[in-house]
Structure 1
Amino acid sequence: MKKFPLLFFFLGIIVLSCNKNNDAPIIEEEQETPVEEAKLPADYPAQDFMWQAMNSYYFWQADVADLGDDRFDTSEKYVDFLASESDPGEFFYKICNNHISVVGEAQAVDRFSVAFENYKDLVNVLSGVSMSNGVEFTLYAFQDSNDIFGVVNYIMPNSDASNKQIKRGDAFVGVNGTTLNRDNYIDLLYGENATYTLNMADIIDNTVTENNVEVSLTKVENFSENPILVSKVIEQNGVKIGYLMYNSFLADYDEQLNDVFGNFKSEGITELVLDFRYNGGGRVSTAVQIASSVYGTKTDELFLKARYNAKVQAIFTNREDETNFSDTTFGGVAINELNLKRVHVITTTSTASASELVINGLTPYIDVVTIGDKTRGKNEFSITLVDDASNGFFYDPNTEENINPDNQWGIQPLLGRNENADGFSDYTTGLLPTLPLEEDISNLGVLGNPSEPLLALALNHISGETAKYSRQPSMTAELFSSSFEFKGTNNVSSMTGLIKMKPKD
């Protein structure tokens, strides 16, 4: 952006007038007209940071006129633009490329960039720390009605809900005695009240009926979810099969995750089922770790190649935009590898981002069998940016003192797309399952139990008995929303620690 000096004008006015009782002119005292001091970019620190960061790194920078390098030919015009939207959050979404919050889902290009008023809240949610009562659920719409109902997907261990009479498969139709509908569900389930009561229901003969049971739940501040919900070894027809229910790619649990694969290795498993059905993504470095555990720590083979905007792409000179399989976790611990030729992955429409990246990154090397429903289709990656110009706006927990004290906003904009070794990244509409099967609302089963429908299908495929398995759920409904959409790691592929930008020599 061109820089222009700001000009200040002051004008003193001498007014001559005639006294009607005296023909002699009277010289009035000189008056100075007050002039409003011109505004500077620093007067709009959040908007200025957002524009500078988005102009530099945003994936669609070249497609957004307001982010153009030659958009403003004077500083005054630039400042006027920053001042055009007083709410920094609204300003951010307006400079995105047809953001879903601005144009709606049907016309959206950018569906996943987000902004937080306090960067610490953004950092926390990306670390799996949030205010939660421990219930994850899916909301469904009643046919020909504005009302909706919920079904519990799972309960987080050590949460408030883990001590209550509520479990996977339970249904609810109201909150605090008010029937849930398309218009009130956000206020009732995600409102300011930390405590609320769910009005439960029974599902009998494909009919949802309120049963007068109430469950009181309280959200706890700074609750940290362990994404490793279930890990076990299942032996079937003499074959040892590892099963991992993994719900978010969180770096804080990388070593525990590595231990899970170490146990699989010591147990001698020859097949693996990764259950990503509710996993909306998270850290790409953890995706690299999982893929390396599955396929092998082949550090000379490409796992992903990042594609940025033209300005950023021009910085790379020697494969800095490529990430190979790894032999250590992000924390430097040797990765436990299984060296499998095949993996089964359970997916639903809640499977997104880093989860899809594992599937796509492994596909060129081994047989990836997906079971369930089409994935979300989030093929872009992002990173946390804050107002720290000295670090190129990249968030670094070790240099928080450099963040502008006048601007605590944090943004997570989309920076690019990751290709696999075959150059494929075109799955915006989702990855189709190898063996399709929707979850049965009336029979969700117990996660990790061999009889749970999606796992049962995976086990049948491993044993070669897929033809004997019925793929028709007895009850489905129109998916309306889910608690996963409100999780901080949902639809996130964070490249934190993997972006290796450096100036050309």
Structure 2
Amino acid sequence: MRSINFCCFIFLVSKLFYCLFPLRRPTINFVTKKFRFFFNQCNLGASTIGKTMKFPKTLLLFFCLIVLSGCHEDLDDVIKPATSLDIKNFIWRGMNEIYLYKDEVPDLADDRFSTQEELNEFLNTFSSPEDLFYNGLVAAEDDFSFLVDDYIELEKSLDGIRVSNGMEFGLRRYPEGSDQVLGYVRYVLPNTSAEEKGIQRGYLFNTVDGVQLTVENYSRLLEPETYTIGFAKKENGEISSTGETVILDKEEYNTNPVFIAKIIPTENAKVGYLMYNGFTGTYDSFLNDTFGLFKAENITHLVLDLRYNGGGSVETAVDLGSMITGQFEDEVFYTEQWNEDYQTYFEENE
């Protein structure tokens, strides 16, 4: 992690499970939810060490006290780099407060440390904030939480803005169990370097900048803004290089999740096909226009392709369900589940 003045991290705070049985407005039960939440350093102040969790009725007063206590000095233009220990404390406190799998991580228990000194001693056993987060606090069953150090880039990505060369790909080991990695192109974004260079779905590649991809190096090799991929082919079950290469360049790109929307005429009906690659709220108008097209064409069947959809806005998922059908009005669309502390609070104050 580069030198930063604050830390931003995302971790699973609740679970969401929903199906496409739409409602105009869902009835919400606090049972399940898969949702990501991020903080910045000013959001969490006092430690919960040795104390019982304080819940939302007291949070407003709690945060007001923090704000008022800091009003005596204007620090807006004063850069105070956080120490590694500061960031570790911030991460621990945030996860101790609201992490979904808190009960699965003994070191996040409210009574785990009786003093700040004990907590600091524990935090200092980890070499970095990343080490603490991934190797000390993230539950084994958690495949969704991650740590970032640039919240601006994070916010852009949630709005569908990211740096890309347009080649959307997957990776797999080859042969099975080997450390070697093979890349395959899933699809190509329009008006990008990959489209310009003629990359197509199904292309294989196994080298970047002349180096064989492996489980250890693929992330580093594919990170630069410009790199050269080496194509591969599969013949008789064997993977080999073709000797062909192409240079790809990344640039900031606005990714419309409505990737393909079309009408497929059949003998007995009109079928609407939608390849939808992310629940991105900033593109809801495009989603609405797509269903306007489907309605105008009087489709009777719908194929909703979510193969490459990585998730996103719950509100957009609700809107999508409502666009598909409204016949399940007043039925539960999704339910939420939080950690035990918050779950109990919500159920008692529903």
CA contact (8 A) 1:56 1:312 kept: no
Measure how far apart 1:279 and its partner are: 1.4
SS in 2 for 1:281: coil
The offset of 1:203, in angstroms, is 4.3
Give the drift of 1:268.
Answer: 0.8
1:240 shift after superposition: 0.8
Q: Select 1:77's aligned residue among 87, 93, 118.
A: 118
For residues 348 and 114 of structure 2, the distance between their equivalents in structure 1, rounded to whole angstroms, comes to 35
Q: Deviations over 1:317-368 (max 9, x none)?
A: 5885xxxxxxxxxxxxxxxxxxxxxxxxxxxxxxxxxxxxxxxxxxxxxxxx
1:55 aligns with 2:96: yes
Q: 1:164 and 2:197 equivalent?
A: yes
How many Å separate the matches in 1 of 2:129 and 2:227?
Answer: 32
**For the residues of structure 2 that align with 1:202 and 1:314, how far apart are their CA atoms?**
55
Aligned in 2, Cα 1:245/1:73: closer, same or farther, shift over 3 Å?
A: same
Decide whether aligned partners of structure 1 residues 152 and 161 sit closer, same or farther in structure 2, where only a CA change above 3 A counts: same
Name the counterpart of 2:165.
Answer: 133
Of residues 253, 265, 287, the one that matches 1:223 is 253
- Match status 1:66 vs 2:96: no
Counterpart-to-counterpart distance in 1, 2:120 and 2:182? 48
Q: Is 2:128 the partner of 1:87?
A: yes
Matched, 1:213 2:244: yes
Q: Greater relative contact order: 1 or 2 (C-alpha under 8 angstroms, separation 6 or more)?
A: 2
TM-score, normalization by structure 2 = 0.70
CA displacement at 1:178 relative to structure 2: 2.6
> Match of 1:271, as an amino acid?
H
Change (3 A) 1:43 1:206: closer
Q: 2: CA distance between counterparts of 1:262 and 1:155?
A: 26
Conserved in 2, the CA contact under 8 Å of 1:231 and 1:243?
Answer: yes
Amino acid across the alignment from 2:209: N
**2:338 maps to what in 1?**
308
Paired residue total: 272
Preserved CA contact (<8 Å) 1:173 1:179: yes
Matched, 1:120 2:152: yes
CA distance in 2, matches of 1:181, 1:75: 42
| Structure 1 residue 185: Cα displacement | 2.4
Matched, 1:280 2:306: no
Summarize the alignment of residues 167-206 of structure 1 with structure 2, pairs less than 5 Å apart: 167-190=200-223, 193-203=224-234
User: Aligned-pair distance for 1:207?
Assistant: 4.9
Partner SS for 1:140: strand
What amino acid is aligned across from residue 219 of structure 1 in structure 2?
A: K
Residue 257 of structure 1: how far off its partner (Å): 0.8
Instruction: Tell me the CA shift for residue 299 of structure 1.
Output: 5.0
Displacement of 1:195 after TM fit? Answer: 1.1
Partner of residue 352, structure 1: none
Q: Secondary structure at the match of 1:72?
A: coil
- Tell me if structure 2 keeps the 8 A contact 1:197–1:215: yes
How far apart are the structure 1 equivalents of 2:112 and 2:168?
Answer: 45
1:241 and 1:183 map into 2 onto residues whose CA distance is: 44
Deviation at 1:206, TM superposition (A): 5.2
Deviation at 1:219, TM superposition (A): 1.3
CA distance in 1, matches of 2:167, 2:100: 35
Q: In structure 2, how many angstroms separate the alpha carbons of the residues matched to 1:161 and 1:303?
A: 39
Stretches of structure 2 lacking an aligned partner (at least 5 in a row): 1-47, 52-81
User: Do the aligned partners of 1:89 and 1:116 also contact (CA within 8 Å) in 2?
Assistant: no
User: Scaled by the length of structure 1, what TM-score is found?
Assistant: 0.49
Q: 1:51 to 1:293 in 2, by over 3 A?
A: same
Preserved contact between residue 50 and residue 110 of structure 2 (Cα < 8 Å):
no
Decide whether aligned partners of structure 1 residues 185 and 74 sit closer, same or farther in structure 2, where only a CA change above 3 A counts: closer
Q: CA, structure 1 residues 146+295, in 2 after alignment: closer, same or farther (shift >3 Å)?
A: same
Cα distance change, pair 170–94 in 1 and its aligned pair in 2 (3 A):
closer
> 1:207-227, CA deviations, whole angstroms, 9 ceiling, x for partnerless residues?
54433322110111x322111
Q: Aligned letter for 2:285?
A: E
Deviation at 1:115, TM superposition (A): 1.3
3-state SS of paired residue (2:285): helix
Letter in 2 for 1:58: Y
* Alpha-carbon distance in 1 for matches of 2:141, 2:169: 27
Q: Distance in 2 between matches of 1:182 and 1:44?
A: 31
- Quote the Cα distance in structure 1 between the aligned partners of 2:287 and 2:308: 17
Report if aligned partners of 1:242, 1:269 keep a CA contact under 8 Å in 2.
yes
Quote the Cα distance in structure 2 between the aligned partners of 1:288 and 1:132: 28
Counterpart position of 1:110? 142
Aligned residue runs from structure 1 range 401-480, under 5 A: none
Which shifted more, 62-71 or 269-278? 62-71
C-alpha contact 1:247 1:279 (8 A) present in aligned 2: yes
- The 3-state SS of whatever aligns with 2:134 is helix
Judge conservation of contact 2:258–2:274 (CA < 8 Å) in 1: yes
What CA distance in whole angstroms lies between the structure 1 residues aligned with 2:141 and 2:203?
36
Gaps of 5+ in 1: 5-40, 99-107, 321-505
Instruction: Report % sequence identity.
Output: 39
Question: Equivalents in 1 of 2:181, 2:118: separation in Å?
Answer: 48
